[in-house]
Structure 1
Amino acid sequence: MKNIILLLGFLLVIGCKSSKIELATVTDVEKSLSYLASDELEGRQTGTIGIEKAAVYIENTFKENGVKPYFKTYRDSFNLKNIVGYNIVGYIEGTDENLKDEFVILGAHYDHIGKGKEVDGDVIANGANDDASGTVAVLEWAKYFSKAKNNKRSVLFTLYAAEEMGLKGSEHLAEKLKTANIDLYTMINFEMVGVPRAEREVLAYITGYDKSNIAEKLNVYANEEIIGFLPQAKEYNLFKRSDNFSFYNEFKTPSHAISTFDFTNFEYYHHVDDEVDKMDFEHMTSFINKMIPALQGMINAPTKEIIMNDE
């Protein structure tokens, strides 16, 4: 009898280990980014065949992982003069009856500028760091939460077009969601997370640091300091220069951008050399996985613990 109990205990442990949700892997991160920032996509300029290929890739990733469209399809379309743009919006409904009507948005822009100044015959601005890196991070979290099924609040995974044209994609989506009167708790945009900061620095920083207590809370949820303050972010007013600002404008709820690019660690902003070979996939994978408990804490907090500060 004792041996049977021991065997059952052993099988239970094995079962728990085998059912553990897998975190992001370097292989998957590199595979996704290598496609999104490949020459085949020609710099992902809004309105081009290249960004259409990126949109299809994102949609297929959502489909393969059971992430539902929030609207009738994954696409939130908008017009800019003679150009049609598409935000791609995935949705995982919350599991808690009391919290599922509250939303957390995790976003990044999947467009880029198309072509840049020629260097050694190369004119394609691949946008590996800007912002294929943020796009891949959002896709990895969509994959994780689709398997974990432990998000008490509902989560939207939003990838924007026309960021490079003045935040037009996120402006359209924010206005649409505001008109639908969704209860937006928090929004985080992920911008240029493909390269690490210096070892002495905090892993990442958040824009609009003083506008809410989000950095403090994310660090508590992560059980380590992973989000810090960057003076240049305030100096250059980065809070207003990323897609988070569209949601802040509409909802006046905590809406911030997180980045690991800090003006000292990457020289190729809007440059044709913003290529896959400049990315640090070990860093990216570590960042994605370290953010998971922080995001879970935010998504599953029993009350709205993240609040705006008095200004």
Structure 2
Amino acid sequence: MKIIYSVVLMALAFYSCKTPQIIETDSSNIIEITAPEETNTETKTEIRKVVPAVSFSKSKDVGDIITFLASDELKGREAGSEGIEKAANYIEAIFQKNGIKPYFEFYKDSISNFNKPAYNVVGVLEGNDAKLKNEVVIIGAHYDHIGQLAPQDGDAIANGANDNASGTTTVLEMARYFASTKTNKRTIIFALFTAEEKGLLGSKDLAERLKEDNIDLYTMLNFEMVGVALQDKDYFMYVTGYENSNMAEVANAYSGENLIGFLPSAKQMNLFKRSDNYAFHTAFNVPSQTFCTFDFTNFDHYHKVGDEAAKMDFDHMATVVNKSIPMVSGIINAATKEIKYNN
């Protein structure tokens, strides 16, 4: 996550495709929302069902991915480096294995606003609804990190496990899920961004390209630093820009729990503008927000050499995927664009 540092101080084998296990919910898992009719004084009741929970991603699944992405072999995945090239090839192969097609001619899409060769990796899964497939949901995360630092106890590699191999892993697992189930009515673009740590450059480049393509973007869901669990919170994840939209309300309705909450320090630090969601907000002015479980108090290795895969909670990461799938499924398959910015 690209954040002003002084503010922060304050505060390989690919896995095989699996058939997702669906945990059925009973008919009591229904949320009723009443809203006034525009044409009369009666009320209309909208029935929004909780999307069934899933047990799809396992700790080994996420562990295999993040262990490679945060390995010393990749030398911190700095944009334009040989290490991040290996990460891009790895992501590309996962897309290929799971039948995710390249959005452009190739999966690796060169960005034009950086002084070294660097690539976003962009895949697409077409929606299965004749009408809704013309609308797009982007699920994204940055896969770059900061490379190497001054050695500490002989270690100079800032592996970037939490930041942001964890978010990349989440996106890849959701790509695997939707590719295997093909339950998405809207089209999904899975985007892994480069050069976030250089100033959100990869997402800026892609947002401009997609704007030129005139896509009908509904929403952009970004995942950032989800490798460790929040502590002493009554919600599981927070979303940046919480107060800007009804994203959390809609997400929690589909999840059937208090999945997404408000983190006051995220507003104080203006994290809404510090990750890759912001480029899509700027280009499209549609709800574009970041989901996160790192709050600067629950992990001590932000932008340090200690941000390694061994310090990640793989069970938590699998839970992030499994709890996100119902939320994302509800959003992707809703009959209308429910998520809106607040006036």
- Answer whether TM exceeds 0.5 for this pair: yes
TM-score of the pair, normalised by structure 2: 0.84
Counterpart for residue 141 of structure 1: 174
**CA shift in 2, pair 1:181/1:285, >3 Å:** same
Unaligned runs of 5+ in 2: 1-18, 23-54
Counterpart for residue 306 of structure 2: 273
1:91 to 97, 115, 124: 124
Q: Does 1:219 align with 2:255?
A: no
Q: Secondary structure at the match of 1:83?
A: coil
Give, as a single letter, the amino acid of the residue that structure 2 aligns with 1:197: L
Instruction: Give the C-alpha shift of residue 253 in structure 1.
Output: 0.2
Give the stretch that moved more between structures: 159-168 or 73-82: 73-82
> 1:68-87 counterparts in 2 under 5 A?
68-80=101-113, 82-87=115-120
Q: Does 1:188 align with 2:218?
A: no
Instruction: Write the distance in 1 (CA, Å) between the matches of 2:234 and 2:295.
Output: 10
Q: Does 1:167 align with 2:200?
A: yes
RMSD of aligned residue pairs (Cα, Å) = 1.2
Instruction: Write the distance in 2 (CA, Å) between the matches of 1:139 and 1:252.
Output: 26
Counterpart for residue 132 of structure 1: 165
Counterpart for residue 316 of structure 2: 283
1:109 to 122, 134, 142: 142
2:85 to 52, 65, 88: 52
Q: Secondary structure at the match of 1:84?
A: coil
2:275 to 201, 219, 242: 242
Unaligned runs of 5+ in 1: 1-17
Counterpart for residue 259 of structure 1: 292
Instruction: Write the distance in 2 (CA, Å) between the matches of 1:277 and 1:81.
Output: 32
Instruction: Write the distance in 1 (CA, Å) between the matches of 2:20 and 2:215.
Output: 34
CA contact (8 A) 2:234 2:258 kept: no
TM-score of the pair, normalised by structure 1: 0.92
Q: Secondary structure at the match of 2:133?
A: coil
Instruction: Write the distance in 2 (CA, Å) between the matches of 1:180 and 1:254.
Output: 19
Counterpart for residue 52 of structure 2: none
CA contact (8 A) 2:80 2:118 kept: yes
Instruction: Write the distance in 1 (CA, Å) between the matches of 2:163 and 2:120.
Output: 17
CA contact (8 A) 1:185 1:254 kept: yes
Give the stretch that moved more between structures: 228-237 or 72-81: 72-81
Instruction: Write the distance in 2 (CA, Å) between the matches of 1:105 and 1:247.
Output: 9
Q: Does 1:67 align with 2:100?
A: yes
Instruction: Give the C-alpha shift of residue 118 in structure 1.
Output: 1.7
Instruction: Give the C-alpha shift of residue 223 in structure 1.
Output: 1.0
Q: Secondary structure at the match of 1:239?
A: helix
Q: Which ranges of 4 or more aligned residues in structure 1 deviate by more than 6 Å?
A: none
Deviations for 1:118-150, whole angstroms, at most 9, x for unmatched residues? Answer: 210000000000000000000000000001111
Give, as a single letter, the amino acid of the residue that structure 2 aligns with 1:148: T
Instruction: Give the C-alpha shift of residue 84 in structure 1.
Output: 1.3
CA contact (8 A) 1:116 1:270 kept: no
Give, as a single letter, the amino acid of the residue that structure 2 aligns with 1:201: D
Q: Secondary structure at the match of 1:100?
A: helix
Give, as a single letter, the amino acid of the residue that structure 2 aligns with 1:285: A
Instruction: Write the distance in 2 (CA, Å) between the matches of 1:207 and 1:258.
Output: 7
CA contact (8 A) 1:193 1:260 kept: yes
Counterpart for residue 13 of structure 1: none
Deviations for 1:174-204, whole angstroms, at most 9, x for unmatched residues? Answer: 0000011000000011000000011543110
Instruction: Give the C-alpha shift of residue 19 in structure 1.
Output: 7.8
Instruction: Give the C-alpha shift of residue 65 in structure 1.
Output: 0.5
Q: Secondary structure at the match of 1:143?
A: helix
Q: Secondary structure at the match of 1:289?
A: helix
Give, as a single letter, the amino acid of the residue that structure 2 aligns with 1:308: Y
Counterpart for residue 11 of structure 1: none
Give the stretch that moved more between structures: 113-122 or 32-41: 113-122
Give, as a single letter, the amino acid of the residue that structure 2 aligns with 1:176: R
Give, as a single letter, the amino acid of the residue that structure 2 aligns with 1:91: V
CA contact (8 A) 1:107 1:188 kept: yes
Identity of aligned residues (%): 56
Instruction: Give the C-alpha shift of residue 82 in structure 1.
Output: 3.4
Instruction: Give the C-alpha shift of residue 97 in structure 1.
Output: 0.6
CA contact (8 A) 2:113 2:205 kept: no
Instruction: Give the C-alpha shift of residue 172 in structure 1.
Output: 0.2
